[in-house]
Structure 1
């Protein structure tokens, strides 16, 4: 793995790890449908194949603790009190890199993407906030109407205190009563939590203004916060001009962006309470301190058990309508640990519900097919084992046991240890049993042959990169062997002799790629390739 990383860094991080909330596996044992994949470990100094498979189930991934120790170049002892991390790096020999694992397991995004006819102008389905498995005009700018309030609630939940008292701003009087309101009045006093119910259940435009002024001091300042949050989430084709969704030519989003925003909001338990509530009775006071009560009914028919479009599979949702936007809907669902966010823009009143139901059925079927094809049942046993790192011991037991090894949930330690997990399997290249490190550009496969970034492979072999700009030829030598690779041609020269290539050197997005096997074998290196997920600190 190369030189050890700064141990002091991990002493500091250990306290942070235990200060956070680890995922604690409840129960004695549980059988889960998991995907087992080879995993490659990086620590910035080198890369190696993990000793044990990575387990993934929905948005959660479990990694063998031995492999975590390999990444941070540490070791641990097993004591009566639990696992105790030590500063000494593991001395056991690394697993063989020959041959590398080659079984290909596609990502769910690649496998599960489906087509479906819907009535809405645009739609998107996102699984677990990252896999866009359906899209129709998903990048087209459309008007969000009251689905805007999803972002309003998200910003409020991120920055507000649910139990603090809110005095409804005089600015709410600017909202026309003929629009969707919660019928709250300037001077009314209620908790922020109640105000959010006024925002999301009856889709109160007046409540949206009250939320904005309370959180940011003014509507304009709150709108800045909304746009900053959209940019942070990667919703780059979204722009907000107000917190409620009343029509503005410059307020727009896309189905894909709206699904991203919806998923982020759904990570808050309170948000899901808001969008799953069909009827809410509120008790608060007016400006004179006199008690008031309001009954708010949700605009979303999918969560009303007595409505024609009720769908018990839906965890909640938010509607939207203006004459310009037409009928919009964002809806949420969960099944077997996977979450689904469906966004529909510019539909019709009833068709949007039918579209959502149909898309969810397709999504469930796609996931079921993928799981049956690429997953297997694994038994995870809760381990009665604590973890001690730099003298700090977990108050709970964060491990599960699989195949006799301690595993830990990756996303509970990833942020503190600076770890990232690739969303899909990466293609790997090994020369003489040593993995080649690829930084900004990954290998490509063409005609079943691997093309690799020229600088990465030449530097790994200790060669200098040469480039003949006029003739478009890349070349290298080590004093004994010389090669020349003309760009775009299916031949090369090895020590002056013509050699036919299975795949030509090429330039893609400004980067030069060369055939891995020809380059490696020209310099007497044993060439191997494989696939797997990658986890580590870049």
Structure 2
């Protein structure tokens, strides 16, 4: 009975746990990384959330306009892209990069997001923030709430653009890598940051604004598809980069890097070369319980989803699995029922878990439980399925 109650509780928090697992850094392997000019850097596998490499990864640093990654993802998740936004007076003439917004000019939120991420418009950042948050302090609160949710434990935002306004606006390379990975899982964000050229409206003018993406990695590196440049006098050169090869995406962060383009290219090359994706669990794989359980003849436990993870070849021997079940007796009437999880560990760190379903050789024995089977199957297909099959 206690085990069943425990499983019930696990179901409630299961999806939240997966978010934490995805965003948490893992034990780093021993392969020698390239030399970098960056004071601080990190490399992350986007799908799994594994930090593959970090240099001074938890050192608090100024992050300049990499801040706008958070501004963009909060706006995308909280607003509607086709909403028409009026430029407030406080957004006009903000120092630094600009898309030259005019007071009371009207643009859609989507257009402002392109101005924010391609041209790093600080005026666009303030306009977006006041629209979404009601005020700059209101939006900054939303930014920090999102940072806490993602697991950015060494980050504090005080503005939506990253200008040097105090020592209280900071993050770390690892935290910004987590943010990049989180944002890149959003299709709208991915589309924006991978765009090289975009025309948006310019109210009162005879032509549109033509936005050329400042991120040279989109032209310099094969497969590059994001993310954001940054610079202030105090932060120096900062860069968030991403690239996709053979369906697999990596992202890098370099902070205070005099040779940021080459730093990012070296890290991406190194990550693709040294951390191939390994399928640790296959979809519908038969799973043998490692705890005492009575299995009726003809019944099996199967993995609902595949689970893949970036590993160096030498790490394969450090992977182990644990079966957690909420039932001590498995019979044919439970066909399709979720009864537990397979937890996957790399050494002592749990890197993921996969739902386990009951499967029987003959579906006829499962008719009394057909409704329950359909509910659980559809629930996990819709809510959790994509997290482990990416």
TM-score bin, normalised by smaller chain: 0.5 to 0.7
Change in CA separation of 1:227 and 1:533 when aligned onto 2, cut-off 3 Å: closer
Q: Note if contact 2:173-2:254 (Cα within 8 Å) is conserved in structure 1.
A: yes
Aligned residues: 297
Once the 2 structures are TM-superposed, how far is the Cα of residue 112 of structure 1 from its aligned partner? 7.2
Q: Note if contact 2:180-2:251 (Cα within 8 Å) is conserved in structure 1.
A: yes
Q: 2:57 aligns with which of 121, 125, 138?
A: 138
- Residue 331 of structure 1: SS of its match in structure 2? strand
Q: How does 1:445-464 map to 2 (within 5 A)?
A: none
- Residue 238 of structure 1: SS of its match in structure 2? coil
Question: Which residue of the partner structure matches residue 299 of structure 1?
Answer: 214
**2:22 equivalent to 1:117:** no
- Residues 160-199 of structure 1 deviation map (CA, whole Å, 9 limit, x = unaligned): 00011111111112512xx211112111111110110011
Q: 1:184 aligns with which of 72, 76, 101?
A: 101
Once the 2 structures are TM-superposed, how far is the Cα of residue 535 of structure 1 from its aligned partner? 4.6
Q: How does 1:390-469 map to 2 (within 5 A)?
A: 408-409=304-305, 425-426=320-321
**2:219 equivalent to 1:328:** no
Q: 2:193 aligns with which of 263, 269, 275?
A: 275
In the alignment, the residues of structure 1 paired with residue 160 and residue 81 of structure 2 have an alpha-carbon distance, to the nearest angstrom, of 18
Once the 2 structures are TM-superposed, how far is the Cα of residue 408 of structure 1 from its aligned partner? 3.8
Where structure 2 has 5 or more consecutive residues not aligned to the other structure, the ranges are: 11-20, 285-299, 308-317, 329-344, 357-390
In the alignment, the residues of structure 2 paired with residue 175 and residue 319 of structure 1 have an alpha-carbon distance, to the nearest angstrom, of 18
Once the 2 structures are TM-superposed, how far is the Cα of residue 113 of structure 1 from its aligned partner? 5.8
**2:260 equivalent to 1:352:** yes
Please provide the CA RMSD for this pair: 3.8
**Higher normalized contact order (CA 8 Å, seq sep 6+, divided by chain length):** 1
**2:125 equivalent to 1:208:** yes
Change in CA separation of 1:3 and 1:229 when aligned onto 2, cut-off 3 Å: closer
What's the TM-score once normalised by structure 1's chain length? 0.49
Q: 2:152 aligns with which of 227, 235, 246?
A: 235
Question: Which residue of the partner structure matches residue 149 of structure 1?
Answer: 68
In the alignment, the residues of structure 2 paired with residue 534 and residue 427 of structure 1 have an alpha-carbon distance, to the nearest angstrom, of 9
Change in CA separation of 1:129 and 1:256 when aligned onto 2, cut-off 3 Å: farther
Once the 2 structures are TM-superposed, how far is the Cα of residue 43 of structure 1 from its aligned partner? 3.3
In the alignment, the residues of structure 1 paired with residue 136 and residue 230 of structure 2 have an alpha-carbon distance, to the nearest angstrom, of 20
Q: Note if contact 1:112-1:133 (Cα within 8 Å) is conserved in structure 2.
A: no
- Residues 2-36 of structure 1 deviation map (CA, whole Å, 9 limit, x = unaligned): 68958xxxxxxxxxxxxxxxxxxxxxxxxxxxxxx
Question: Which residue of the partner structure matches residue 370 of structure 2?
Answer: none
**2:251 equivalent to 1:341:** yes
Q: Note if contact 2:303-2:354 (Cα within 8 Å) is conserved in structure 1.
A: no
**2:181 equivalent to 1:263:** yes
- Residue 318 of structure 1: SS of its match in structure 2? strand
- Residue 208 of structure 2: SS of its match in structure 1? strand
Change in CA separation of 1:210 and 1:291 when aligned onto 2, cut-off 3 Å: farther
In the alignment, the residues of structure 2 paired with residue 45 and residue 266 of structure 1 have an alpha-carbon distance, to the nearest angstrom, of 30
Question: Which residue of the partner structure matches residue 7 of structure 2?
Answer: 43
Change in CA separation of 1:45 and 1:154 when aligned onto 2, cut-off 3 Å: closer
- Residue 409 of structure 1: SS of its match in structure 2? coil
Greater fraction of residues in helix: 2
In the alignment, the residues of structure 1 paired with residue 351 and residue 48 of structure 2 have an alpha-carbon distance, to the nearest angstrom, of 22
Structure 1 stretches of at least 4 aligned residues deviating more than 4 Å after TM superposition: 2-6, 107-114, 404-407, 426-429, 531-537
Greater fraction of residues in strand: 1
In the alignment, the residues of structure 1 paired with residue 52 and residue 304 of structure 2 have an alpha-carbon distance, to the nearest angstrom, of 29
Q: 1:362 aligns with which of 260, 270, 289?
A: 270
**2:135 equivalent to 1:218:** yes
Q: Note if contact 2:43-2:253 (Cα within 8 Å) is conserved in structure 1.
A: yes
